[in-house]
Amino acid sequence: MQRDYLSINNVPTRILTWGKTLLDDFDETDELIVVISGNPGITEFYIEFLDQLHAKTNASIWILSHAGHEIVDKNNVPSRQGNKKVYDLEGQIKHKRIFIEKYVLPKGIKFNLIGHSIGAYIILELLKNETINSKVHHNYLLFPTIEYMAETPNGVFIMSILRPLKFLLLPLIYFIYILPMFIKIFLISLYIKFADIPKRFINIVLEFVHPYTFQNFCDMGMDEMYTVRARNDDIIKANLEKITLYYGKSDCWVPISYYDKIKKEIYGINAQLCDKNYKHAFVLHDSIEMGDLVGEWIQKNKTN
C-alpha cells in the first residue's frame, strides 16, 4: 500500500493505493478498483478490507478520502469560510468526479467502483456522467444509503437529537482538541470501548477530534438527511446489469424494508441480503470477510 496526497477541487486529499499507483501506466489487461467510502470518509478505516480485497483479486485499488475529512498537513488546515459547498454532499460528488476525470479516465481502461454507505449514493450520481459510465465495468454498493435516510432509525435519531445539539458538540470537540495528548487519548480510549470500536483504530478516531474535520463530517451528514430522498430508479434500471447491492439484516441506516422494496419494485435487480450478520460499519469488525466476499464477486464478474 502507498499513501499519496493530492489537491482535488482545491482540497488536500489523501489517496491510498494498492498495486499500480496514480503515476503508473496501465494496459488493457490491468484491473482497477476505485473505492468511495461512507461518512466519515477516512481512508485508514478501510485498510484491512482493501488489503484483503487486493490479495483476493490482485487488482490495483485506489481509495480517496472525502473532501475535508482527513487533514493532510496539520500546519496548513484549509479555511472553511466561504467554502461550505465544497464539503456538502454535492461538493463530495464533484470531488469524486474531478478525481476520476483527472486520474482514472486517462488510464484508458475499464474499472470497477465500490461504494460503502453514502458512497453508494455518490456512485449512482457519478453514473449520470456518460463518459464515466462508459468506462465502469461494474458497481458494488455495500450497505447502500440511497433512499430516505432521514426516515431510518439512525436518521430519526440524528434529526431529533443530534441536530439540536450540534452547536454544543462543536465547542466540546474544540475543548477536547486543545487538551494535552495523553488526556485526549484517555478520553478516546473510553469512547471506543463504549462504542465497540477495536483499539487498533484509536489513532484513526483522533481524526474526529478536530474542529475542521468534525464540522465537515456533520455538514455532510446533515446534508445527506435532506438530500437522499427518493431512490433513483432511472439510473439503477439503466445500469441494471452492472450493479450489485448488498444489504444488512439489522442495519439502522438501511432497514431491511428497503431491501424488500427494491427487490419488489425493480425486476431483475441484483440485490443480496447478508446472512452473516455483518454490520453497516463492516470495516470495524468484518473487513476480511467482506474483502473475501467482494473479491469473489469481482472475480466472477471478470468472466461475464
Q: Would you state the pLDDT for residue 206?
A: 85
Average pLDDT over residues 87-110: 96
- Domain map (residue ranges) of the chain: 2-148+230-302
Crossing angle for the helix pair 89-99 and 118-126, nearest 10 degrees? 60
- For residue 72, the model assigns a pLDDT of 83
Encode pLDDT of 127-143 as tens digits. Answer: 999 999 999 999 999 99
pLDDT at 79: 76
pLDDT of 97? 98
For residue 166, which amino acid is it? Answer: K
Q: What is the pLDDT of residue 82?
A: 66
167 pLDDT exceeds 80?
no
The answer to whether residues 217 and 203 touch, using CB atoms and an 8 Å cutoff, is: no
pLDDT at 248 over 80: yes
Which one of the listed residues 65, 280, 286, 287 is annotated catalytic? 280
Q: Which of 88, 219, 251, 286 is catalytic?
A: 251
Is the pLDDT score of 165 beyond 80?
no
Phi then psi for residue 132, to 5 deg, are -65, -45
Q: Which of 117, 219, 223, 287 is catalytic?
A: 117
The per-residue pLDDT for 279 is 96
- pLDDT at residue 163 tops 80: no
pLDDT in tens, 169-194: 888 898 999 999 999 999 999 988 88
Mean pLDDT of the chain: 93
Q: Respond yes or no: is residue 251 known to be catalytic.
A: yes
Count of positions (residues) in the chain: 304
Measured between alpha carbons, how far is 121 from 126 in angstroms, rounded to an integer? Answer: 9
Identify whether 280 is a catalytic site residue. Answer: yes
Q: Is 194 exposed, middle or buried (0-12, 13-18, 19+ CB in 10 A)?
A: exposed
Residue 175 has what pLDDT? 92
Q: Residue 303: what pLDDT? A: 58
Dig out the grid coordinates for 86 from the structure: 465544497
Does the annotation mark 69 as catalytic?
Answer: no
Mean pLDDT, rounded, for 259-278: 97
CATH class of 2-148+230-302: alpha beta
C-alpha cell at 216: 465537515
Q: Could you give the CA distance from residue 183 to residue 159 in angstroms, rounded to a whole number?
A: 31
pLDDT digits (tens, 9 = 90+) for 105-117: 999 999 999 999 9
Residue 304 pLDDT level (bands cut at 50, 70, 90): low
Mapped to the 3 state alphabet, what secondary structure does the chain carry? CEEEEEEECCEEEEEEEECCCCCCCCCCCCCEEEEECCCCCCHHHHHHHHHHHHHHHCCEEEEECCCCCCCCCCCCCCCCCCCHHHHCHHHHHHHHHHHHHHHHHHHCCCEEEEEECHHHHHHHHHCCCHHHHHHEEEEEEECCCCCCHHHCHHHHHHHHHHHHHHHHHHHHHHHHHCCCHHHHHHHHHHHHHHCCCCHHHHHHHHHHCCHHHHHHHHHHHHHHHHHCCCCCHHHHHHCHHHEEEEECCCCCCCCHHHHHHHHHHCCCCEEEECCCCCCCCHHHHCHHHHHHHHHHHHHHHHCC
Q: What is the pLDDT of residues 29-82, one digit of tens each?
A: 999 999 999 999 999 999 999 999 999 999 999 999 999 999 888 778 887 766
Return the pLDDT at 161.
78
